[in-house]
Every structure is written in structure tokens, then in C-alpha cells.
């Protein structure tokens, strides 16, 4: 596998409109996605996620900066040769049958007629549309269209997948099925870059997360790095008269609450050490609790300006 980045974004600035009325949707972001990585791109509505993704595909043009996909400038035919894309809202020609649509998209990616004939039935089955190949798309529900969208994105077995709002329009079963498809693709070594509002999905699928807020990247870390400070342990204790607070506790700035002390500790090892020290100095442990926050809590606190540690 090559070590060249699949996606390379450097100081990207995208603006809508011109002159004094221009709105900056993306404000100088830089990031890379390496081969085989699964990267979640998360942010609130209007944060700049879809704009960034559209720039990757050459749908909109940057005001500044460089965007390269597989080493080619974004928007060139070469850059789109090895990617599969699922748009946020996937609607397809209502006058076509599902099979015809997949033939069109597969054909555009260079697949021959025989190859398409071989690939389409199992692909429809994989996305939960078995036996629907001859149905006109005007008779497809939104969820079915989204499933077909996934099929068109992966029909040519692209090396990289770019999904805008991953599970938009899917019911819980659809989301589960999609996750299975993505896990399979991830295991097969495909590069996956997707934006999503479903942070549990990001948590369960991604190796790395990029958070964007008001056009700027606010966090870029592996899921493990992000989740580490999100676990919080609380210990409530009483000290024997005149005993000082042990060092392992005092660094966590415990608060006094009547005769009780309350400390919050984020790291599991430090928590274990603190409990051991308290026992050793004869303190009475009143209660312990753990409070695991989700990526969603972290994200909400981040976009509300209270910082990731709130």
C-alpha cells in the first residue's frame, strides 16, 4: 500500500459569494487522510463539512489552498478515478430502473457490460435491495434510494470512499446494514472519509476524527485519544482529623463539601493510585462513581464554546 495521502487538504479556503458579501464557509483548514484509514469528519450544520467534501470532488472551487486526491488536483477526472461518493441527499433518475442506474454509474467508472452483469445482483443484495433491480426508481422510498446510493458508490470497488452525511435518510435497520458494509470495506483496507451527525457511528467506525466548527478544524485526533479524557471518576472521602490531602489527590484540586472532600480524576491509573493513597492514610471513602462521556457530549461542549473538558 502506498504511503502517499489519499486526501491532502492544505490551507483550504472556500467562500460563497464575492466581495463584501462573501461568506467564508471553510477557513484555512489542512488535513490528510492516509491509505486504509477511516476518518470521521464531524461538525454542526453549516460548519463546512459538505463544502469541504464538495471541494474534494471538484464541485466547488477553493478561493485559496490546495486539494489533492490520490495525488491529482481535486476535480480532475484522474482524481475521481479511484473514489466512490455518496452525496448527502441521494436522489436518482426516477425514470430509470435500479439495474439501469447501476449500469450507468458502473459504466462511467469503466466497468464493462459483462462485469456489470456479474456485479449488480450481489451488490443489490448486499445493500438490502435484492430483487429490486427491475423496479423503477420513482417507486423507491428515500431509504431505498440511499441504499442504492451506497451501491453506486461501491460498484467499482473504489480504493477510497467519500460519504457526505453517512446514514442520512436511513432507518435503524438501514444504518446497521450500512455499518456492516463499511466495516467490511474497512477490513478490506479501503480508505473511508465521511461526515456524519451520528457520533456513535463515528465512535464505532473511525480510526481518527476531524472536528470542524465555523470553517476551522478544532480537533483532530484518533478516537482513542479523544475518548481518553472523556472518562471521569469521582471519589468522595473523609480525612482523619489533621491529615493532609495526599499528593495523588491534591493535584486534582478536590473540593470541600462539609466534612466530605470530592475529587474528579480522569485517568484510570491515577484514580487507582488515589484510592490506594486514601486507604493508606486512613481516609474513609464515602462513595466512588465513574462518569463516561460520549463523543457526542464532547462535541456538544466544544461547539457550545465550553471546551472539550466541560
Partner 1 sequence: MRGAWLIARSVLVEAVRRREVYAVVLVSLVLIGAVMTVDFFNIEGLSKFYREVALKIMSVATAFTVIVLAARQLPREFESRTIYPLLAKPVSRTSFLAGKLLGVMLAAAFCFLLFMGIFLVGSAYLHLKTQWALFGQYVYLQMLQMLVLATLAFWLSMVMNLDAAITLSCVFYVTSSVILSASTYIYDLVPQYAKALLLGAIYLLPQLDLFDLSEKAVHAEVWPPLPASVMGALTLYGIAFASVYFLISLRLFARKPL
Residues of this chain that interact with partner 1 (CB under 8 A) are 54, 57-61, 77-78, 80-81, 83-87, 89-93, 95-96, 100, 104-105, 107-110, 149, 152-153, 162
Q: Smaller CB distance to partner 1: residue 105 or 261?
A: 105
Residue 270 CA to chain centroid, in angstroms?
A: 30
Residue labelled with grid coordinates 476535480: 75
Residue 9 CA to chain centroid, in angstroms?
A: 17
As measured in angstroms, the least distance from the Cβ of 120 to partner 1 is 15
Q: Smaller CB distance to partner 1: residue 81 or 234?
A: 81
As measured in angstroms, the least distance from the Cβ of 192 to partner 1 is 15
Q: Smaller CB distance to partner 1: residue 36 or 58?
A: 58
Specify the pairing of strand 191-195 against strand 38-42.
parallel
Q: Which residue blocks in the chain are alpha helix, DSSP H?
A: 49-56, 77-80, 98-108, 113-126, 142-154, 172-187, 199-205, 223-227, 247-250, 268-280, 295-303
As measured in angstroms, the least distance from the Cβ of 62 to partner 1 is 11
Cell numbers found for residue 12: 483550504
Q: Smaller CB distance to partner 1: residue 145 or 196?
A: 145
As measured in angstroms, the least distance from the Cβ of 298 to partner 1 is 31
Inter-CA distances, 31 with 2, 58, 67, 191, 271, Å: 18, 17, 10, 15, 35
As measured in angstroms, the least distance from the Cβ of 257 to partner 1 is 56
Q: Smaller CB distance to partner 1: residue 83 or 265?
A: 83
Q: Smaller CB distance to partner 1: residue 100 or 220?
A: 100
H or E stretch covering 197: none
As measured in angstroms, the least distance from the Cβ of 76 to partner 1 is 9
Beta bridge partners of 291: 232
Nearest in space to 288 (alpha carbons), one of 253, 258, 254, 263: 263
Amino acid at each position: 500500500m502506498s504511503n502517499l495521502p489519499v486526501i491532502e487538504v492544505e490551507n483550504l479556503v472556500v467562500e460563497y459569494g464575492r466581495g463584501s458579501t462573501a461568506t467564508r464557509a471553510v477557513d484555512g483548514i489542512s488535513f490528510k487522510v492516509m491509505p486504509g484509514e477511516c476518518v470521521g469528519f464531524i461538525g454542526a450544520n453549516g460548519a463546512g463539512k459538505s463544502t469541504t467534501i464538495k471541494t474534494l470532488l471538484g464541485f466547488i472551487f477553493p478561493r485559496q489552498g490546495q486539494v489533492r486526491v490520490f495525488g491529482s488536483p481535486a476535480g480532475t477526472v484522474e482524481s475521481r478515478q479511484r473514489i466512490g461518493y455518496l452525496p448527502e441527499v441521494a436522489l436518482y433518475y426516477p425514470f430509470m430502473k435500479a439495474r439501469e442506474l447501476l449500469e450507468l454509474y458502473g459504466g462511467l467508472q469503466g466497468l464493462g457490460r459483462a462485469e456489470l452483469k456479474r456485479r449488480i445482483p450481489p451488490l443489490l443484495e448486499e445493500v438490502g435491495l435484492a430483487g429490486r433491480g427491475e423496479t423503477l426508481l420513482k417507486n423507491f422510498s428515500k431509504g431505498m434510494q440511499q441504499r442504492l446510493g451506497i451501491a453506486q458508490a461501491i460498484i467499482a470497488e473504489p480504493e477510497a470512499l467519500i460519504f457526505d452525511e453517512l446514514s442520512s435518510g436511513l432507518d435503524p435497520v438501514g444504518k446497521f446494514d450500512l455499518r456492516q458494509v463499511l466495516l467490511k470495506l474497512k477490513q478490506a483496507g479501503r480508505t473511508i472519509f465521511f461526515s456524519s451527525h451520528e457520533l456513535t457511528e463515528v465512535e464505532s467506525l473511525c480510526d481518527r476524527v476531524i472536528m470542524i466548527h465555523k470553517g476551522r478544524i478544532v480537533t483532530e485526533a484518533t478516537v482513542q485519544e479523544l475518548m481518553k479524557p472523556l472518562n471521569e471518576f469521582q471519589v468522595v472521602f473523609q480525612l482523619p482529623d489533621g491529615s493532609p490531602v495526599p499528593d495523588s489527590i491534591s493535584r486534582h484540586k478536590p473540593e470541600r463539601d462539609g466534612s466530605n472532600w470530592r475529587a474528579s480524576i480522569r485517568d484510570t491509573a491515577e484514580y487507582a493510585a488515589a484510592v490506594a493513597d486514601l486507604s493508606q492514610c486512613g481516609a474513609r471513602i464515602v462513595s466512588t462513581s465513574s462518569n463516561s462521556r460520549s463523543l457526542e457530549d464532547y462535541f456538544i461542549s466544544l461547539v457550545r464554546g465550553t471546551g472539550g473538558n466541560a
